[in-house]
Amino acid sequence: MSITDSLLLGNSPPMQQVKLLIQQVAQSNASVLILGESGTGKELVAKALHQESSRCEHSYVPVNCGAIPSELLESELFGHEKGAFSGASSAKKGRFELADKGTLLLDEIGEMPLSMQVKLLRVLQEQVIDRVGSEKPRSIDVRIVAATHQNLSDKVAARDFREDLYYRLNVFPIQMPPLRERGEDILLLWNFFAQELCVGDDSPVTLSMAAAHDLMQRQWKGNCRELRNLVERMNILYPGAEITLQNLQPSAPILVSDMLAVEGQVELALYPQALESNPSRVKDVVEPPRLFDPLVIDEHPSNIDSLADMLVSAIDMSHGCDLKQQLIAVETQLIQKALDATSGNVSKAADLLSVRRTTLIEKIKKYQLQELS
Of 113-117, 124-128, 209-213, 271-275, the range with the lowest mean pLDDT is 271-275
Percent of the chain with pLDDT over 70: 78
267 vs 123, more confident = 123
Q: What is the pLDDT of residue 251?
A: 54
Q: Taking CA 246 as the corner, what is the angle to CA 245 and CA 250, rounded to the nearest 5 degrees?
A: 130
Dihedral sign computed on CA atoms, order 9, 15, 18, 23? positive
**Summary mean pLDDT of the chain:** 82
* pLDDT band at residue 314 using 50, 70 and 90 as cut-offs: low
Residue 148 lies in a domain: yes
Residue 371 lies in a domain: no
Torsion of CA 33, 39, 41, 47, to 10 degrees: 80
Residue 327 lies in a domain: no
Give the CATH number of the domain where residue 30 resides: 3.40.50.300
| pLDDT tops 90 at residue 302 | no
Q: Which of 64-73, 224-233, 238-247 has the highest mean pLDDT?
A: 224-233
Of 33-37, 39-43, 44-48, 244-248, the range with the lowest mean pLDDT is 244-248
Q: What is the pLDDT of residue 32?
A: 98
| Cα R_g (the chain), whole angstroms | 29
Q: 69 is in which domain, residue-wise?
A: 3-177
Q: How many CA atoms lie within 13 A of 168 on its CB side?
A: 19
Using one digit for the tens of pLDDT, what is the confidence trace for 353-367? 888 888 888 788 777
- Give me the number of domains the chain comprises: 1
Mean pLDDT of 189-199: 93
Residue 4's φ and ψ, nearest 5 degrees, are -65, -45
pTM summary value: 0.67
Those residues whose C-beta lies under 8 Å from the C-beta of residue 189, and which sit 6 or more positions away, are 9, 10, 179, 224, 227, 228
Mean pLDDT of 170-191: 95
Mean pLDDT of 19-34: 96
| pLDDT tops 60 at residue 303 | no
Residue 208 lies in a domain: no
| pLDDT tops 50 at residue 280 | no
Of 7-16, 20-29, 306-315, the range with the lowest mean pLDDT is 306-315
Mean pLDDT of 284-290: 35
Q: How many CA atoms lie within 13 A of 153 on its CB side?
A: 4
Mean pLDDT of 239-250: 87
* 267-304 b/e (C-beta count within 10 Å ≥ 16 → b): bbeeeeeeeeeeeeeeeebeebbebbeebeeeeeeeee
Residue 68 lies in a domain: yes
Residue 341 lies in a domain: no
Contact 190, 49 (CB under 8 A): no
Using one digit for the tens of pLDDT, what is the confidence trace for 105-143? 999 999 999 999 999 999 999 999 999 988 888 999 999
Dihedral sign computed on CA atoms, order 99, 102, 108, 112? positive
Of 95-109, 235-249, 311-325, the range with the lowest mean pLDDT is 311-325
* pLDDT band at residue 272 using 50, 70 and 90 as cut-offs: very low
Residue 183 lies in a domain: no
Residue 160 lies in a domain: yes
| pLDDT tops 60 at residue 301 | no
How many angstroms separate the CA atoms of 330 and 259, rounded? 12
Mean pLDDT of 7-14: 94
